[in-house]
Structure 1
Amino acid sequence: MSPAKPLIGVIDTPGEERDALAETIAREGLAVYAADSLEALPEEMALVVAHARAVPRDDWTRLAARLPTLVVSDERQDADLLRAVDAGLVDYIVDPLRHGSLLRRMIGKAIEVHRLAVEREHDRKRLAKLNADLEELNESLETHLAMLRLDQQAGGQIQRKLLPTRPQTLSGVTFDYWLAPSLYLSGDFLDFQAFNTRYSLFYFADVSGHGASSAFVTVLLKYLSNRWQHEWDGEHPEALAAHWLAALNRELLDAGIGKHATLFVGVIDHQRRYLHYSLGAQLPMPLLVTDTGVTPLPGEGMPVGLFPGVDYPKLGCQLPEHFRLWLCSDGILECLPGDTLDLRLRELERRVLASETLEDLRGSLALGPLANDDDGIAESSPGHEELPDDLTIMMVSGFGNDRS
């Protein structure tokens, strides 16, 4: 179906001249409606051709506001023509019957210009509405982000309150740490507690990912470790670490949250100066520094929370009078030079061997000074933008290394 022809209105006094004007316009197949006043025209006009003599002086402005209008006149010096032009009409032509071809081209051009103007106005209004909607959406998003940031900050404060006070010395063994989340919440976690005067228990965990979901797993870990410690009767310390890892593996799988973790769990027998431990895919491996050098603790185990029915190793080693045991989350690898994992691990061994304190290792990694309280640790950590992953360092030292 061919598109409807635009309807052209002709305003002129009735008579042969008006009929001739209408006929001149209609020669190009345009639809024409002739009337003697603006009020007599139908609403669907695309354009009006008005004779200067047929429109009262006060109607030109009203006509120009309603429809694109061409003015025609028989004489160039017609006073009515000048008033029409001053009112802002589209254009004018003198002696239209003689210049019919020009008149029709002017009509076509005026219709096209008007159509484009209408489209631009439509686009402008649509863009203005879109901008208003985007502004409202941005304000709503900023509000939600601010609320989320406050929630994350509050969650980070609660998570830090779950961490043990640092540093602590338990029966001649000193525990110290530094934890920096890449966001407000961390997937890294650790704890150490004295079971009695003979045994102290500690663990070091790195939950996959970071942020809120990983932080929830660390809260679960804190709860479960406290429960399991209260259930332990102090017998068979060599089996406790492996039992904890197996139990946590079942808990994470049963929860179905799609999170797993690497863990190191240790039990220090202060009487024997012996470390019972088990591990689940710890990387980097814990590094034991003694008077003879630095050695990664032997052993291997599966990640916790990935595979059912996993048995974790029961491992142990004698602790000399002077030792430093270093545990680091894999975020530390991002702070070390080297093109390969092996080169970075060797660099870590070199740096922990040269570090007497936690402050020394942090300084070698250019991580800034160490704060003396949990909130200070979080505030002085790089965090948020500078770290691609959570970063945690823990040092366990004793027995002759006790400087308290």
Structure 2
Amino acid sequence: MQGAKLLIGVIDEPGEARDALTETIARDGLAVYAAESAEALPPETVMIVAHSRAVPPNEWPRLAERLPTLVVSEDRQDADLFQAVDAGMVDYVVEPLRHGHLLRRMIRRVIEVRRLAAERERDRARLTELNESLETHLAMLRLDQQAGGQIQRKLLPAHPQTVNGVTCDYWLAPSLYLSGDFLDFQRFDDRYTLFYFADVSGHGASSAFVTVLLKYLFNRWQTEWDGNDPEALPGRWLAALNRELLDTGIGKHATLFLGVIDRRHRYLHYSLGAPLPKPLLDVEGKVYSLTGEGMPVGLFPGVEYPQLGCELPTNFRLWLCSDGILECLPGETLDRRLRELERRVQVSNTLADFKNSLELGRVADDDEVDSVEDASGHEELPDDLTIMMLSGFSNDQP
């Protein structure tokens, strides 16, 4: 038993009474050392049993601070016993020789409490060490995430920019440092402009890695395109991307909208992979969703994506939003939120107008790096939020 390995110090005046007290405590294997004062006890003593007659009244506080101490006395009305208890002794026993079994149980209880307290202190020290290590690792992870966010933003196109008579502007705010939302807007030649808008499932590092893959694949496919059959290009690229994501086996999928703007005919060729909400086209104050249906990219093999298109008038605004926008709109149902989105698009002439209508406060005002870097601002965004607006061709001279 653990108590048999621990030393109990007895403080009492020498004599038969002390010997009897020592013998009473030593039963059941407890180790005991008797002395006249605390200074005479061995350093390995773990607790003290002190008789009230053997300790001066002014010594009780110092004794209580040194080690856990039980007080014993022959008289319940002993004034020294009261002073000892008032000084902070852990407990007391009256007539210890008569109640030896109780005394030993109390000693073992004090030893166990002391052991548990020591364990708690060790656990507290270990927890403090682990917390410091965790804080260090979190700080390193935060720095890595911030660096990754900087790199991800470098992959985004400049904005606002005008290509072939169409102006692109956007705002991207990740709920964390990295985003699962991504977009691109590039000139192919004097006639065609290519763009896409992607929302990768989830958010954070794993989703951000997929956006880097998207950037690489679309750049590669763009260099391989010969400029023919623009109407088939969006669907073909989405099908190829679907195969690529399935082959990676990473369990990520994305919703996408991919478009080719034909400047000569002022026409939009597009295909879609289940974007929510659908892109909204604003023409002279009338807003409607682009038609068509398509499966998410990266979920099912062998999916074919539709070839779709629509004419673009002289003045148009095409709005694309990630599904994070739905968290920022009022309405109890999805249908009501989509109608609210159409209403706000209808009354917004610029991207800034639309952002202001969302009333996102500090998050919406952070335009310095086009995304939120301060973690304190992320609390207002439950999901990544990206808004992209294309407008033209009012001042275009082909």
User: Of the candidates 190, 197, 203, which is equivalent to residue 210 of structure 1?
Assistant: 203
**Inter-CA distance 401–360: structure 2 relative to 1 (3 Å threshold):** farther
Match of 2:184 among 166, 191, 197: 191
In structure 1, give the amino acid aligned to 2:107.
Answer: H
TM-score w.r.t. the length of structure 2 is 0.80
Q: Please say if residues 242 and 298 of structure 2, whose CA atoms lie closer than 8 Å, have aligned partners that are also in contact.
A: yes
- Name the aligned partner's letter for residue 143 of structure 1: T
Q: Which residue of 1 aligns with 2:232?
A: 239
Specify the alignment match of 2:381 in structure 1: 387
Conserved 8 A contact 1:25-1:104: no
1:183-212 deviation per Cα after TM superposition (whole angstroms, max 9, x unaligned) = 000000000000000000000000000000
Rounded to whole Å, the distance in 1 between the matches of 2:394 and 2:160 is 16
User: Distance between the aligned counterparts of 1:304 and 1:312, measured in 2?
Assistant: 10
Alignment of 1:242-391 (within 5 A): 242-291=235-284, 293-367=286-360, 375-378=369-372, 383-391=377-385
State the distance in 2 between where 1:347 and 1:127 align: 56
- Whole-angstrom CA distance in 1 between matches of 2:289 and 2:136: 48
CA distance in 1, matches of 2:9, 2:368: 83
In structure 2, the residue matched to 1:163 is 156
CA shift, 1:401, in A, is 6.5
Q: How does 1:98-113 map to 2 (within 5 A)?
A: 102-113=95-106
Q: Cα deviation per residue 1:118-169 (whole Å; 9 max; x = unaligned)?
A: 1121111111100000000000000000000000000000000000000011
The offset of 1:104, in angstroms, is 3.1
Q: Distance in 1 between matches of 2:377 and 2:271?
A: 30
Distance in 1, matches of 2:392 and 2:179, equals 28
- For the residues of structure 2 that align with 1:70 and 1:267, how far apart are their CA atoms? 93
Name the CA distance, whole Å, in 1 between partners of 2:206 and 2:117: 44
In the alignment, is the contact (CA less than 8 A) between 1:85 and 1:92 conserved in 2?
no
**2:72 equivalent to 1:91:** yes
CA-CA distance at 1:381 after TM superposition: 11
Q: Is there any run of 5+ residues in structure 1 with no aligned partner, and where?
A: 34-42, 72-80, 95-100
Distance apart, 1:60 and its partner CA: 7.4
Deviation at 1:113, TM superposition (A): 2.5
What is the match of residue 83 of structure 2? none
Aligned counterparts of 2:116 and 2:366: Cα–Cα separation in 1: 61
- 1:329·1:391 contact (CA, 8 Å) conserved in 2? yes
Q: Which amino acid aligns with 2:72?
A: D
Displacement, 1:114? 1.8
Q: Retained in 2: the 8 A contact 1:262–1:282? A: yes
Shift, 1:366, TM fit:
1.3
CA positional deviation for 1:106: 3.8
Structure-2 residue corresponding to 1:38 = none
CA shift at 1:59, angstroms?
Answer: 6.7
Distance in 2, Cα, partners of 1:256 & 1:224:
17
Partner Cα distance (1:244, 1:311) in 2: 10
Which TM-score applies when normalising by structure 1? 0.79
Secondary structure in structure 2 of the residue aligned to 1:203:
strand
Deviation at 1:292, TM superposition (A): 6.0
User: Is the aligned partner of 1:398 residue 2:392?
Assistant: yes
Question: Aligned match of 1:62 in 40, 48, 52?
Answer: 40
CA distance in 1, matches of 2:264, 2:26: 111
Q: Aligned partners of 1:32, 1:216: CA distance in 2, in Å? A: 70
Report what 2:109 is aligned to. Answer: 116
Q: 1:90 Cα deviation (Å)?
A: 3.8
Structure 1 residue 91: deviation in Å?
A: 2.7
Q: Structure 1 residues 310 and 168, CA, compared in 2 at 3 Å: closer, same or farther?
A: same
Q: How far off is 1:234 after superposition?
A: 0.2
Partner of residue 173 from structure 1, selected from 154, 158, 166: 166
Cα distance in 1 for residues equivalent to 2:96 and 2:389: 93
Distance 1:327 1:234, change over 3 A: same
Check 1:291–1:59 CA distance in 2 against 1; reply closer, same or farther (3 A cut).
closer
**CA RMSD across the alignment:** 3.6
Conservation of the 8 A alpha-carbon contact between 2:173 and 2:370: no
Letter of the structure 2 residue corresponding to residue 384 of structure 1: H
* Residue 293 to residue 108, structure 1, CA distance change in 2 (3 Å): same
CA gap of 1:114–1:173, structure 2 versus 1, over 3 A, is: same
**TM-superposed deviation, 1:374:** 6.1
Following superposition, the deviation at residue 102 of structure 1 comes to 4.4
Matched residues in 2 for 1:31 and 1:237: separation? 97
Contact 2:182 / 2:197 at 8 angstroms: preserved in 1? yes
Structure 2 gap segments, 5+ residues each: 61-69, 76-93
Q: Residue type matched to 1:62 in 2?
A: A
Provide closer, same or farther for how the CA distance between residues 391 and 373 of structure 1 changes in structure 2, counting only shifts above 3 A.
closer
2:133 is the alignment partner of 1:140: yes
Cα deviation per residue 1:274-297 (whole Å; 9 max; x = unaligned)? 000000001100001112611100
